[in-house]
Amino acid sequence: MGQGQEVHARQYIEQAMRQGSWVLLQNCHLSLDYINELPTLLAGLRTESESHCRFTTDALSYTDTVDESVIEQHTPQPNMSYTSSIKPVASDQFRLWIITKDHSRFPVNCLQMPVKFTN
């Protein structure tokens, strides 16, 4: 991670969530503002096993079951803000690996996320 890499990281993470692949973010201590966004993004996810919903396009359209017989489609428009109570769905195989050096400003909420490896 470094200057300008946040855009690429977002794209790869969104793609990996849909496809069930892994993303490795290295040198995250160099991009603390972006790393501060990750817990919010990840906390808002549902897994495939938790939901009947899933991404429908690369443009981040979502389908959500309103009740057993009604499906409502929500499609954000380009260059417009979009807020919804619908949470994006991540594949059960999606993994995000974060590698960082020790940094006093590294977000504590990232350190408290479920699985950590240290040496």
Residue 27 belongs to domain with CATH number: 3.40.50
pLDDT at 12 over 70: yes
> What pLDDT is attached to residue 21?
92
28 DSSP β-pair partners? none
> What pLDDT is attached to residue 114?
62
Domain count, the chain: 1
CA atoms of 74 and 60, how far apart (whole Å): 9
> What pLDDT is attached to residue 103?
83
Its pTM stands at: 0.59
Nearest to 44, CA basis, from 5, 83, 102: 83
Percentage of residues of the chain with pLDDT beyond 90? 3
Q: Is residue 20 one of the residues assigned to a domain? A: yes
Domain ranges, residue 45? 5-111
Nearest to 90, CA basis, from 119, 49, 61: 49
Q: Is residue 92 one of the residues assigned to a domain? A: yes
Residues whose CB falls within 8 Å of the CB of residue 71, separated by 6 or more in sequence, listed in order? 63, 64, 65
Task: Please count the CA atoms within 13 angstroms of the CA of 62 that sit on its side-chain side.
Answer: 21
Convert the pLDDT of each residue in 21-76 to its tens digit.
Answer: 999 989 888 888 888 888 877 777 766 666 544 444 444 444 444 443 344 444 44
> What pLDDT is attached to residue 3?
80
Q: Is residue 118 one of the residues assigned to a domain? A: no
Average pLDDT on 66-95 reads 54
Q: Is residue 119 one of the residues assigned to a domain? A: no
Nearest to 6, CA basis, from 91, 77, 25, 58: 25
16 with 94: CB under 8 angstroms? yes
